[in-house]
Amino acid sequence: MKATTKDAYKLMHDGAIALSQMEANGICIDVDLLEKTTVKVAKKIKTIQEELEKDELWKEWLKVYRKKANMGSRYQMADMLNKVHGFTKSTQDPKKKLSVDEKALLELDIPFIKRYLRMEKLKKLHSTYLKGIYREIVDGLLHPSFNLHLVRTGRSQSNLPNFQNIPIRDPKIGKLIRSCFVPRAGRVLVEIDFGSLEVRVSCCYNKDPALIEYIRDSSKDMHRDMAMECFMLPQEEVTKEIRFYAKNQFVFPAFYGSYFGQMAPDLWESVTKTKLITVSGLRLVDHLKNKGIKRLGIKDDVRPRTFMHHIREVEENFWGERFPVYAQWKWDWWKEYQKKGWFQSLTGFRELGVYAKNDVVNHPIQSSAFHCLLWSLIETQHWLNRNKMKTLLVGQIHDSILADVPENEIEKYISHVIEVTTVDLPSHWRWIIVPLEVEVETSSTNWWEKQKVKV
DNA sequence: TACTTCGGCGCC
DNA sequence: AAAGGGCGCCGAAGTA
């Protein structure tokens, strides 16, 4: 990726400096709590492992693998499940080793698996997060690296430790680790996130009027609307959870270039494996049954009255009727690249070389979205320096900034960042043709307890 | 023992 | 027409 203008170069130059200041600042860790949590989690892992060792499956396992038996080995696990329970994955590539990820394992409904997966989650927490973070602490502070020059799409990456993948979605796991991230004494953590930044930036490329309208009109809700279509529900029957699945297993995958053959099985699994229910308490499986859809079907031979068929129609409608301008942009952008051999982002970075279609349409959106964050971060850091403020920027996660802020600077800091992100940024880059929004969260205790702030 | 590759899984 | 974008870190297993 190459900067084509002075401004594009300057973004990298100033960005690298701002990020290095962030690295030097570091984020405060409650080391005592981290140590206690590590011991607690290790004990829990041991307890579960001992329970699992009483299982018949493990006794068979010992007979087969003897001294080499290792519960942490997914390969052995697959082999034993196959031997004892006749397990084979439904969508297995015959040329590959039998896969045993969480999804495959959940196809088996046996108690051993439930416990095993709970233990694996705790092991991930223990090794990657609790121990991995502990290892990097210096004088109570963690200094993750943030690099600008390594990611193909122009985003940043973070390592030693990676600050950009600390658990949050699983509430039990998220709480255990994020509670260890604390503000310095007398301060609060303030996290400011752009709302739906990539979708907004995509509008600036594709200029699809329907998509722009979803952004401009806050009473409209794209994910709710797609939940209605995917699950054949009236608006008032869509729960938050149903909307969540439509968003993460249809809308985003579709935007990133997925298709019904991939999306329908994922959605179907959510419908059948998690007990999704509608607002009035009907199970979603039964609701779809009432609508005449009783099975998933297969992608290579799509039959009417299957979920596969239904999602194929939803997808056709999504690109053909709902967002045709976006679909056309993707096509034109791709054709243009094929002609020239390169494509260029709105922030002035050019990618020259051999790329797949999904890369060509996704990279510029992802990079420009990150550049919005980077520009805001640079501006904010410069302002903090100029005004000799005590606020410290301590972390960045693609579309959000985490700061450690003294009590008496909270209001000033928040209102300034809002100004930078929602006013200064769109006036600096005139290609930003949709409003930008941010969400502010603060906590005086730790990173898990952050609470939304009305702005 | 040291290193690499792979599958798996954490985040946006 | 083809068919999900981007990362880093871990343990297991294979290789030198």
Question: Residues A122-179: pLDDT tens digits?
Answer: 999 999 999 999 999 999 999 999 999 888 889 999 999 999 999 999 999 999 999 9
Residue A170 CB lies within 7 Å of the nucleic strand B: yes
Residue A439 forms beta bridges with which residues? A193
pLDDT value at residue A276: 87
How far is residue A207's CA from residue A252's CA, in Å, rounded to a whole number?
Answer: 18
Residue A105 C-beta-side C-alpha neighbours within 13 Å: 19
- Distance, CA of A259 to CA of A264 (rounded, Å): 8
Question: The domain A2-29+142-199+364-453: what is its CATH number?
Answer: 3.30.70.370
- CA at A75, C1' at B5: how many angstroms apart? 15
Q: How far is CA A24 from the centre of its chain?
A: 26
pLDDT at res. A89: 63
Contact between the CB of A152 and strand C at under 7 Å: yes
Return the percentage of chain A with pLDDT > 70, whole number: 98
pLDDT tens string A99-114 = 788 888 888 888 899 9
The CATH code of the domain at A33-136 is 1.20.1060.10
Tell me how crowded residue A23 is: count the other CB atoms within 10 A of its CB: 17
pTM equals 0.94
In angstroms, the Cα distances linking A81 to A45, A56, A88, A92, A351 are 21, 11, 8, 15, 46
* Residue A95 confidence (pLDDT): 58
Which parts of chain A have pLDDT scores under 70?
89-96
CA of A161 to C1' of C16 (A): 30
CB within 8 Å of A51: residues ≥ 6 apart: A115
The reported pLDDT for the residue numbered A211 is 96
Instruction: Please check whether strand C approaches the CB of A58 to within 7 Å.
Output: no
State pLDDT tens for residues A256-293: 899 999 999 989 988 887 788 999 999 999 999 999 99
In strand C, the nucleotides that come within 7 Å of a protein beta carbon are: 1-13
pLDDT at A400: 96
The per-residue pLDDT for A345 is 95
For chain A, the domains span 2-29+142-199+364-453, 33-136, 219-322
